Structure 1
Amino acid sequence: MFLTDEELRKITAFRRELHQKPEVSGDEAQTALRLKEELSLTGPDSVVTGIGGHGLAAVYGAEPGPTVLIRAELDGLPIQEISDVAYRSTVPGRGHLCGHDGHMAILMALAKGLGRDRPTRGRAILMFQPAEENGAGAAAVLADPKFAALVPDMSLSLHNFPGVRLGHVLLREGPVNCASRGMRIVLRGKTSHASNPEQGIAPTFAVARLLDSLTGLGNNGPLGPDYSLVTVTHARLGEPAFGISPGEAQIWATLRTLTDEAMATLVSRAEELVESEARARQLQVDISYEDVFGQCCNSPEAVAQLRRALDEEGVSHDAVNSLLPMKASEDFGLFLTVAPAAMFFLGAGEDHPRLHNPDYDFPDALIAIGARVFMRVIRNILG
């Protein structure tokens, strides 16, 4: 390990500090400020702040050569933590229950090492990205004019993975995360007295039909090119009153496919279904989308670099596993539109609480493993 035991202990303490003060997507100002303070102690060649929102990037190295970008996420989740650890969240209704605090700690470990021993050529960029949980962050970073000076030749990332033995890595080429998006449907008719529903235009029957027909658009089959899933996550009809026949309703549904092409087809079919039902019931309809994630694919050249590093660091790994690709989404896939990119999945323990569970906590033992792998890639490419 390129860090001393004392340095690793301090980085673990820093991870636990972050764990206590989670901020949700788009609100990571204090997290970014604290990271900037800690990064300044490592002497980066430059730090770019406010990228894509509250994102920041620390740059190490200024000689000609390639640029390798390592990315971690800033945001926590709007979930109440129920852990009994001493460093549990102090923010009501908020928790680092996906491990982004641990991912940030891994990059801080890299910052310590890179600050002490710069690359001999090119640049290593540590990108702390905002707003991963709602799918907005990567797009905002890439669209930010500040990113033009940071465009990498390769981008890498990781995610901890409960259900896989501690420290074991899953890594494969091609698709690793599904595309998904939240579809919000608003149906508007006209209220009436509950004793005379015929005098209004109620969305009741449209909602009843759509709850079934939207779900029926998905096949929930094997994770191949034709995979699709529609999950209704919320529905509301009218006001909570007995004297009013409803005039408005909402349905929220998550659309999920393995590929972006399949997503375009599923979106078109869902919109056609909703609009047809609205016309049949003389309802106005508004459709909007949130939490939009594209497919996440690993490029062969980036995977090759990670496999070499895993082998050289003695970290066990495999490519064939029923857990990949994941049905869950990840906005890191957008970095592949800029340069070769890959994400590996680092086992958090077979019986570890799952991601987004209220009792989840990032295993500190993964900090050293993740940092070693990334540092090995950086040294292999940049020297």
Structure 2
Amino acid sequence: MTLIEPIVTAAPGIASLRRDLHAHPELAYEEVRTAELVASTLAGWGIPVHRGIGRTGVVGVLRQGRSDRAIGLRADMDALPMTEHNRFAHASRHPGRMHACGHDGHTAMLLAAAQHLARHRHFDGTVYLVFQPAEEGGGGARAMMEDGLFERFPMDEIYGMHNWPGIPAGQFGLCDGPCMASSNEFRIRITGKGAHAALPHLGIDPVPVACQMVQAFQTIITRNRKPLDAAVISVTMIHAGEVTNVIPDHCEVQGTVRTFSTAVLDLIEQRMRDIAHHTGAAFGAEIEFEFVRNYPPTVNHPRETELVREVMHDLVGHEATLRFEPTMGAEDFSFFLQARPGAYFFIGNGDGDHRQDDSPAGHDLGPCTLHNPHYDFNDDLIPLGGSFWVRLVERCLAPTSPC
């Protein structure tokens, strides 16, 4: 592993900043303190800063030389609406808010790179440092684009990095093509006719309608979808009734759909719509069908993926550059990749041994997995992640390298 020594030296200071962010988590579009801390830190290093992009986003701009080539590096900043169970000194001070996905660490790694790039400008072109709000369900990437991100900051390509528990620290994960799925939600309201539970023939029971509908949805996966095209339909909520001796008027079915391609998603949505309406008609019930497309699939571009792989090989070696298995989780970096070439990849966060317990009574740390109340970002990643960003910039914006 060949880390950049000045970044290693500066890492403790960046880690302190990261822990401050962890202790003061802010939810989607509420990242006011976080954004100001990021902006003031960048400005203190002499980096021009643009605030309020996509409401609470921040973009730093580093220019060097005469080239008109430009790349974007993105870190997300928002926390999750959940209560932290850790007891270490930098645990969240705000119940119901927690950095349980490592966005504080993503911000820290990009700040580490920004500090070095501001002091050692071994590149020719422009680097846009994109600190994005509202990744956790808020579509902050789309909001920044709607606010003119790519028009105001005309980057040729953009890159994003996410920590991944289970991959050992010191290793990276990368995959070609789709790496994360689309995220979509459905809501179906079934309206029947209520009746006494002892006299079901006088009503239209929406519950068996829902049961038959849910079973039929799985035939879309097993009989309509091409077997090699990954997809998941998950019914996660069924709500009906209030008392045991009454057939309810209504039943509501909700859940999610995940796919790696828009064509498969189109198929699933249409088949679900058909099944819902025809099943309702067969029972004499009325159907309201809603399908919301939240995030598209995150699909890496070939050239940019290969560039990332080469930087990983140079930094940690071939054996520590892993083939990442695509996940059905979703990521709004997908909006950026629909608009610009780029790649999204993963840095190992280890298995949780980095966490410290300074509670005198002792503490069960629990699993260090994403979106878990015991999670914490591994600060040992800061010099590695920062070094990666710098090497990527230097390779992409080298004087003889086409970007």
TM-score by length of 2: 0.85
In structure 1, the residue matched to 2:232 is 229
Aligned residue number for residue 354 of structure 1: 369
Report how far residue 54 of structure 1 moved: 1.8
AA in 2 matched with 1:362? F
CA distance in 1, matches of 2:142, 2:163: 22
2: distance between equivalents of 1:310 and 1:242?
A: 60
Conserved? CA contact 1:169–1:317, under 8 Å: no
**Which runs of 5 or more structure 2 residues have no equivalent in the other structure?**
353-366, 399-403
Q: Deviations over 1:173-216 (max 9, x none)?
A: 21211223121222234445556555554422212222322344
Q: Cα deviations across residues 75-111 of structure 1 (Å, max 9, x unaligned)?
A: 2112222122221112212211111110011111122
Amino acid at match of 1:370: G
Query: Can you list the C-alpha shifts for 1:297-356, whole angstroms capped at 9, x where unaligned?
Result: 2112212221222233235556664x5112212221222222221112111125672211
Aligned to 1:111: 114
Of residues 307, 311, 314, the one that matches 2:313 is 311
Superposed CA RMSD: 2.7
Q: 1:350 to 1:243 in 2, by over 3 A?
A: same
Q: Structure 1: where are the runs of 5+ without partners?
A: none
Query: Does the 8 Å contact 1:170/1:317 carry over to 2?
Result: no
CA separation of 1:147 and 1:49: change in aligned 2, threshold 3 A: farther
Query: What amino acid is aligned across from residue 368 of structure 1 in structure 2?
Result: P
Q: Does 2:226 align with 1:211?
A: no
Residue 180 of structure 2 is matched in structure 1 by: 177
Distance verdict in 2 for CA 1:5–1:370, change over 3 Å: closer
**Equivalent residue, structure 1, for 2:125:** 122
Q: Does 1:280 align with 2:295?
A: no
Tell me whether 139-148 or 188-197 shows the greater mean CA deviation. Answer: 188-197
CA displacement at 1:375 relative to structure 2: 0.5
Maintained 8 Å contact 2:7/2:112: no
Match of 1:372 in 2: 387
- The structural deviation recorded for 1:165 is 1.5
Q: Is 1:74 aligned to residue 77 of structure 2?
A: yes
Give the whole-Å Cα distance in 1 for the aligned partners of 2:167 and 2:123. Answer: 36
The share of aligned pairs that are identical, in percent, is: 30
1:36/1:317 CA distance change after superposition, 3 Å: farther
Q: 2:51 aligns with which of 49, 52, 61?
A: 49
Match of 1:92 among 90, 95, 104: 95
Aligned residues: 379
CA gap of 1:281–1:131, structure 2 versus 1, over 3 A, is: farther
- Offset, 1:242: 4.6
Taking a change above 3 Å as real, the CA distance of residues 190 and 159 of structure 1, as seen in their structure-2 partners, is: same
Alpha-carbon distance in 1 for matches of 2:227, 2:201: 47
Describe the shift of the 1:216–1:223 C-alpha distance in structure 2 as closer, same or farther (beyond 3 A).
closer
Matched, 1:344 2:345: yes
For the 8 Å contact 2:80–2:97, the answer to whether it is kept is yes
Separation in structure 1 between the aligned mates of residue 152 and residue 339 of structure 2, nearest angstrom: 13
Residue 36 of structure 1 aligns to a residue in which SS?
helix
Distance 2:87 2:226 in 1: 37
Q: Deviations over 1:121-172 (max 9, x none)?
A: 3210111112222162222222223431213211111111112121211123
**Residues in 2 aligned to 1:39 and 1:224: alpha-carbon distance in whole angstroms:** 49
TM-score calculated relative to the size of structure 1? 0.89
Q: Report SS of the residue matched to 1:330.
A: coil
What displacement does 1:294 show? 1.2
What residue identity is the alignment partner of 2:142? A
C-alpha contact 1:219 1:227 (8 A) present in aligned 2: no
